Amino acid sequence: MTATNVHRFTSRKSRPCPMCKKPSTEAFHPFCTKRCADVDLGKWLGGNYAIPAVEPADDFGSEAAKLAENENWQSNDSS
């Protein structure tokens, strides 16, 4: 792909840099400088940005016990 085929977004709203709140530049959008972009990347790589998750309860043990109990009951019932 050549540089002439790259589509430039000219209708993009100018928003402040998410790191320092200065006006963003087209070259580093949505950041104002390479430094702010690198700081943001460092936060992603360092795990500072994370989506909180609630793990479901691990009830596999109780289900296995019920299944084993049910199998024992059926085998005792057939004898």
Can you give the pTM of this predicted structure?
0.51
Q: Where are the domains of the chain?
A: 11-49
Determine the residue type at 20: C
What is the reported pLDDT for 32?
Answer: 96
Q: What is the DSSP annotation of 15-45?
A: -B-TTT-SBP-STTTTSSSHHHHHHHHHHHH
pLDDT in 10s for each residue of the chain, 79 residues = 455 555 555 556 778 999 999 999 999 999 999 999 999 999 999 989 888 888 877 666 666 677 777 776 666 555 5
Architecture per CATH, domain 11-49, reads as 2-Layer Sandwich (3.30)
Cα distance between residue 9 and residue 30, in whole Å: 12
Instruction: Select from 42, 44, 9, 11 the least CA-distant residue to 27.
Output: 9
Largest CA distance in the chain: 82
